[in-house]
Chains A and B, each alone.
Chain A
């Protein structure tokens, strides 16, 4: 691949870099003209429209490792991996219709802050610390390291050098422009990312001979989204009942995602942004997973050599794309990496500033908060750079465990948010008991999984249970603890739950424009659900 990345390809990558950086800097400069404020820096002045919110939700979610991983799993086992993407469409609707009204009406900046409003200061500290540590140890490191692997495979260059450039450039514009710069560049990157992926898919499908040729080449099970309960990776029970729990945590309670929605100018724009993102999440099946299956089918025809399934996307790009378009696809992968990285830098610095610094220094001025946000982003960029040599030494297996950490600690977080909004009776004692016991059970699972070879009996079963089934188990146990401890202790004071649960919500009368928008949103929601149902039926 090294030799085939020609001068024009590099030129396209450099031009794309320069344009993205320019947009971020201009956006940041104009934001500053309006004065320095924490709302401006951390929530882009709370004036973002649905298109930007939806685009940013999608671009932040899709990392370069996501693209290669989805294509790789597609090449190895077919479309079933796309269930997580399709399911995200529905969970985004839950974010827009169930969670967002409470988040916006409470006026919070962060998810830990919402937990403090609903439960207690302890719950806020727990989520803030867990999130910051998890972002630094997993999200930042995994994003950079996976990007490194992807680019090494695709571009044939020593990405650890390239990573330095990407991390620094992304860091600089995130420090300078805050969430405004992140949202604007995310939207640009969404177009390039989707454009690059569509290019690969269409050219691959055309080279194969069309959809008919694809279905003739692969086993019918490759094109089925539904796998038996015994399937080690995507059992239908885990997909239907376990994956939504992880998805509720990720899409509805994780600062990394929800911060984009908090930047909306109003409820209508926020909700429509989530619906738009829901429609975008239908694309990965076709533009990220399908290329992997195409690569597999082309390999069966003897048209390309597929050394390993994870090489599906790089091999497809290397084999089919000419100079020029190859640069565009590489720019798309860079876009995926940069948008994920800038979002995690910005979200982590928001948590550090508002949930740690401001909590310790409540009298801090707006200027100080923005300054702390910028300094903490700078420190995170240094962390990111420090991770680069460390990740070279970390084994692939440990790297996978790092990724799974959040899957084991997220069900209790999903439980306290979801039940906390649905039922006003649950209280802070119940929430803390659920969060802490869920943390212990999750970490125990991780430790046992690392030492699975020396286990037997119930401990081996505990360590071996499919992670989606484990999520169901942990969610049920933590929900029971939350309810039981809450019922055993005093109910929360009325003021604590005012306006932030379904039973205590204050109805807000829609104006004529908002009512009309709400009608359209309902229609779009029905269309999205119908689209998901259609995909489930067609790929049954």
Chain B
């Protein structure tokens, strides 16, 4: 899965798509009555739709990050689940 250390990428991804979604969706909301702008895309306000899609994606990714954080916290407690061995030998090249 996504690495938890040293930086949780899920949160960074969620922030990126939230910002982009707000920018694109916000512009779509502001221009919802501008028919000329959306003429090439068949009068569909695609800024609003894609802004919504990106915001939705950001929320899902953020939720996944929260779930992973809770699981990591639970596993870190005494008696919590521990990482099982993967059966791979140590790498001789590592310094």
On A, residues with C-beta under 8 Å from B are 8, 11-12, 15-16, 19-20, 23, 26-27, 30-31, 33-34, 37-39, 46-52, 104-109, 113, 180, 184, 187-188, 191-192, 195, 199, 203, 206-207, 266-268, 319-325, 327-328, 331, 366, 508-515, 517
| A104 neighbours in B (Cβ, 8 Å) | 88, 91
Pair A51/B41 contact, Cβ less than 8 Å: no
- Contact B23 A8, beta carbon cutoff 8 Å: yes
Closest A residue by C-beta to B22: A15
- Tell me if B19 is interfacial: C-beta within 8 Å of chain A: yes
Contact B2 A49 (CB under 8 A): yes
B50 to chain A, nearest CB (A): 6
Smallest CB-CB separation from A30: which chain B residue? B6
Chain B residues at the A interface, C-beta cutoff of 8 Å: 1-3, 5-7, 9, 12-13, 15-17, 19-20, 23-24, 27-28, 31, 37-38, 40-42, 44, 46-47, 50-51, 54, 84-89, 91-95
> Please, how many angstroms separate the alpha-carbon atoms of A108 and B92 in the complex?
8
What are 28 A-B interface contacts by the 8 Å CB criterion?
A: A12-B23, A16-B20, A19-B19, A37-B95, A49-B2, A52-B2, A106-B93, A107-B94, A184-B12, A188-B9, A188-B16, A191-B17, A206-B42, A268-B88, A319-B40, A321-B41, A322-B41, A325-B24, A325-B50, A327-B23, A328-B50, A508-B87, A508-B88, A510-B87, A511-B84, A511-B85, A511-B86, A513-B84
A232 to B70, CA, bound (A): 57
Chain A residue with the shortest CB-CB distance to B40: A320
Given the complex of chains A and B, what is the CA–CA distance between A323 and B50 in angstroms?
12
Contact of A49 with B1 in the complex, beta carbons under 8 Å: yes
A328:B24 contact, CB within 8 angstroms? yes
- B38 CB to closest chain A CB, in angstroms? 6
Docked complex Cα distance between A438 and B31 (Å) = 61
Complex contacts, B40 vs chain A, CB 8 Å: 207, 319-322
A residues within 8 A CB of B31?
322
Most central of B3, B23, B37 by chain A CB within 10 Å: B3
Bound form: Cα–Cα A88–B17 in Å: 29
Nearest Cβ on chain B to A49's Cβ, whole angstroms = 5
User: What CA separation (Å) do A319 and B19 show in the bound complex?
Assistant: 25
A466 to B60, CA, bound (A): 48
Are A31 and B6 in contact (CB-based, < 8 A)? yes
Of all chain A residues, which has the CB nearest B37? A322
A463 to B95 alpha-carbon distance, docked (Å): 47
On chain B, the residues within 8 Å of A199 by CB distance are 46, 50
Asked if A27 and B93 make an inter-chain contact with CB atoms under 8 angstroms apart, the answer reads: no
Assembled-state Cα–Cα distance A37/B47 (Å): 46
Chain B residues with CB under 8 Å of A206's CB are 41-42, 44
Cα of A280 to Cα of B71 in the assembled complex, Å: 28
**Contact between chains at B86 and A19 (CB < 8 Å):** no
- Given the known A-B contacts A104-B91, A328-B20, are A266 and B41 also in contact in the complex, defined by CB atoms under 8 Å? no
| Contact status of A51 and B1, CB under 8 A, knowing A23-B7, A191-B13, A322-B47 | yes
Collect the chain B residues with CB atoms within 8 Å of residue A187's CB.
2, 9, 13
CB-based contact A46/B15 at 8 Å? no
Q: Closest Cβ of chain B: how far from A10's Cβ, in Å?
A: 11
Contact across chains for B41 and A203 when beta carbons are under 8 A apart? yes
What A residues does B12 contact at CB under 8 A?
19, 23, 26, 184, 188
Instruction: Report yes or no: A107 in contact with B88, Cβ–Cβ below 8 A.
Output: no
Give the Cβ gap from B62 to chain A, nearest Cβ, in Å: 14
The closest CB in chain B to the CB of A27 belongs to B7
In the complex with contacts A52-B2, A324-B23, A514-B92 CB distance below 8 A:
no
A31 partner residues in chain B, CB cutoff 8 A: 6
Closest to A518 in B: B87
Docked pose: A216 CA to B85 CA in angstroms = 56
Contact of A51 among B2, B19, B47, B50 (CB under 8 A): B2
Residue among A12, A46, A51, A322 facing the most chain B CB atoms (10 A cut-off): A322
Would you call B23 and A266 a contact (CB within 8 A)?
A: no
Task: List the B side residues contacting A19 at CB < 8 Å.
Answer: 12, 15-16, 19
Given pairs A26-B12, A108-B93, A321-B46, 15 additional interface contacts (CB within 8 A): A12-B20, A23-B9, A34-B6, A49-B2, A50-B1, A52-B3, A106-B92, A199-B46, A207-B40, A266-B88, A267-B88, A323-B27, A327-B24, A513-B84, A517-B86
Distance in angstroms from B5 CB to nearest chain A CB is 7
The listed residue with most A CB atoms (<10 A of its CB), out of B17, B85, B87, is B87
Residues of B within 8 A of A195 (CB): 54
> How close is B32's CB to chain A, nearest CB, in angstroms?
12
Distance between A372 CB and nearest chain B CB, rounded to angstroms: 15
When the two chains form their complex, are residues A508 and B89 in contact, meaning their CB atoms are under 8 A apart?
A: yes
Query: In the assembly, what is the distance between CA of A536 and CA of B89, in Å?
Result: 39
